[in-house]
């Protein structure tokens, strides 16, 4: 209810007569219910959650007290019953997300109301984590560390990418993850130059670069970690050089992370170092992103980001260099932003095979 009260304050600043929540993450964040439905928060503080019979019992069980749970007959009833409720209002209505068809239907019927996309209100709250959220993310990060330790043990010539993915998935679950946060990436050899891996089930060979990107979720909150491994005990000089540039860029960026620093300036610090080393054309994504209920959420650490870092935000830092048809290197940790610096929540070592 405290989160709803803070959203009501933001609604008041916008003069919204109501606010619609449609995404499953936002429903969970504000009501405790994880499932399909829509919630409407009125300016007077009353809240109604609309859901299908399939989810009704779960909604009644998990939704916090003070919220009226309404069982609808069909998917379309979400819209019909909501529109009947909203039709009694006057003024602007904010919402987090809505598909084009729903938006068109609602605006067609609610001619005297103005539906305003305003997910920024929700992100102002969700991007700052409270103590319980941080505890869950820290547990998820610790589980990811165990996963990387297992990866370093099982990587060897003859093992397939699929073998590694299966072992890591099982390990994350054994260690207490509710689920893997996303499809684990295991990209070896020339496939390591593909940031998200590629099709196929390659067998590892001596001398391979292996990029592993994994995430664990605890109580719906995720951590995200990437390490680059090497098969064998010798690393080509050009690969080791790129690895050290990526690591240096990552460390330098983290040194600049703290409250009130712009996300774009942190991205720029890492990007400039990579450019100085003649590798900027191979850095093909942003430096990092916020993480929590969603694996990718604000703040965005990219060249054009307008976001400002704040205390108790949780972000990733993941510079990478990908040389097409040769190899790729990425390092990533989940980090907690503090007033004067950053705390690394994931602590897996960086140098499993580099002498």
Report if residue 349 sits inside a domain. no
Residues 173 and 260 in one domain: yes
CA atoms within 13 A on the CB side of 183: 7
d(CA 248, CA 239): 14
**Domain total in the chain:** 2
Number of H helices, E strands in the chain: 10, 17
What are the pLDDT tens digits along the chain (355 aa)?
Answer: 999 999 999 999 999 999 999 999 999 999 999 998 999 999 999 999 999 899 999 999 999 999 999 998 876 666 677 777 787 777 899 999 998 888 888 888 777 788 899 999 999 999 999 999 999 999 999 999 999 999 999 999 999 999 999 999 999 999 999 999 999 999 999 999 999 998 889 999 999 999 999 999 999 999 999 999 999 888 899 999 999 999 999 999 999 999 999 999 999 999 999 999 999 999 999 999 999 999 999 999 999 999 999 999 999 999 999 999 999 999 999 999 999 999 999 999 987 554 3
**Owning domain of residue 106:** 2-126
Residues 211 and 239 in one domain: yes
Q: Could you tell me if 318 and 297 are in contact, meaning their C-beta atoms sit under 8 angstroms apart?
A: no
Task: Examine the fold and report which residue of 126, 144, 165 is the final residue of a domain before the chain moves on.
Answer: 126
Residues 171 and 189 in one domain: yes
Secondary structure (3-state) at 155 = coil
- Rg of the Cα atoms in the chain: 23
d(CA 78, CA 198): 39
In degrees and rounded to multiples of 5, residue 102 shows phi and psi of -65, -45
Residues 182 and 229 in one domain: yes
Q: What is the pLDDT of residue 355?
A: 37
Secondary structure (3-state) at 117 = strand
Q: Is 134 exposed, middle or buried (0-12, 13-18, 19+ CB in 10 A)?
A: middle
Report if residue 355 sits inside a domain. no
The structure's pTM equals 0.94
Report if residue 37 sits inside a domain. yes
What is the length of the chain? 355
Task: Examine the fold and report which residue of 82, 102, 126 is the final residue of a domain before the chain moves on.
Answer: 126
d(CA 312, CA 135): 12
Q: Could you tell me if 124 and 10 are in contact, meaning their C-beta atoms sit under 8 angstroms apart?
A: yes
**CATH number for the domain harbouring residue 84:** 3.40.350.10
Residues 95 and 147 in one domain: no
Cβ neighbors of 351 (< 8 A, separation 6 or more) are none
d(CA 126, CA 210): 34
d(CA 97, CA 117): 7
Residues 10 and 151 in one domain: no
Report if residue 354 sits inside a domain. no
Sheet of 341-344: strand order equals: 297-301, 288-290, 314-317, 333-338, 341-344
DSSP output for 156-199: -TT-BHHHHHHHHHHHHHHTT-SEESSPPEEEEGGGGGSTT--S
Residue with tokens 């009125």: 42
d(CA 333, CA 115): 38
Residues 149 and 69 in one domain: no
Beta-strand (E) ranges in the chain?
A: 16-21, 37-42, 47-51, 67-71, 91-95, 113-117, 179-180, 185-188, 209-218, 221-230, 288-290, 297-301, 314-317, 320-323, 327-330, 333-338, 341-344
Direct distance between the N- and C-terminal alpha carbons of the chain, in angstroms, rounded to an integer: 54
């Amino acid at each position: 209810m405290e989160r709803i009260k803070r959203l009501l304050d933001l609604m008041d600043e916008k003069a919204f007569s109501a606010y619609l929540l449609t995404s499953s993450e936002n429903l969970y964040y504000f009501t405790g219910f994880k499932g399909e439905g829509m919630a409407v928060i009125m300016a007077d503080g009353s809240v109604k959650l609309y859901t299908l019979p399939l989810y009704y019992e779960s909604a009644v069980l998990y939704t916090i007290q003070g919220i009226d749970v309404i069982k609808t007959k069909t998917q379309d009833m979400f819209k019909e019953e909501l529109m009947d409720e909203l039709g009694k209002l006057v003024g602007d209505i904010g919402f987090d997300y809505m598909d084009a068809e729903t938006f068109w239907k609602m605006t067609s019927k609610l001619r005297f109301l103005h539906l305003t996309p305003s997910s920024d209100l929700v992100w102002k709250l969700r991007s700052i984590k409270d103590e319980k959220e941080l505890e869950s993310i820290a547990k998820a990060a610790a589980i990811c560390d165990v996963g990387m330790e297992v990866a370093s043990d099982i990587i060897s010539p003859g093992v397939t990418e699929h073998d590694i993915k299966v072992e890591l998935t099982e390990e994350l679950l054994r260690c207490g993850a509710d689920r893997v946060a996303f499809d684990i990436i295991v990209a070896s050899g020339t496939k390591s130059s593909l940031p998200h891996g590629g099709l196929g089930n390659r067998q590892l060979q001596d001398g391979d670069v292996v990029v592993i990107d994994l995430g664990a979720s605890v109580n719906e909150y995720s951590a995200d970690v990437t390490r680059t491994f090497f098969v064998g005990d010798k690393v080509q000089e050009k690969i080791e050089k790129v690895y050290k540039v990526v690591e240096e860029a990552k460390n330098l960026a983290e040194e600049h992370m703290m409250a009130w620093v712009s996300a774009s300036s942190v991205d720029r610090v890492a990007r400039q170092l990579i450019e100085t080393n003649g590798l900027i054309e191979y850095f093909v994504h942003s430096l990092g992103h916020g993480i929590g209920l969603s694996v990718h959420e604000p703040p965005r650490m990219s060249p054009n980001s307008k976001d400002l870092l704040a205390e108790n935000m949780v972000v990733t830092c993941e510079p990478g260099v990908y040389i097409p048809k040769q190899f790729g290197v990425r390092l990533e940790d989940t980090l907690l932003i503090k007033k004067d610096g950053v705390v690394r929540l994931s602590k897996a070592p960086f140098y499993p095979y580099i002498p």
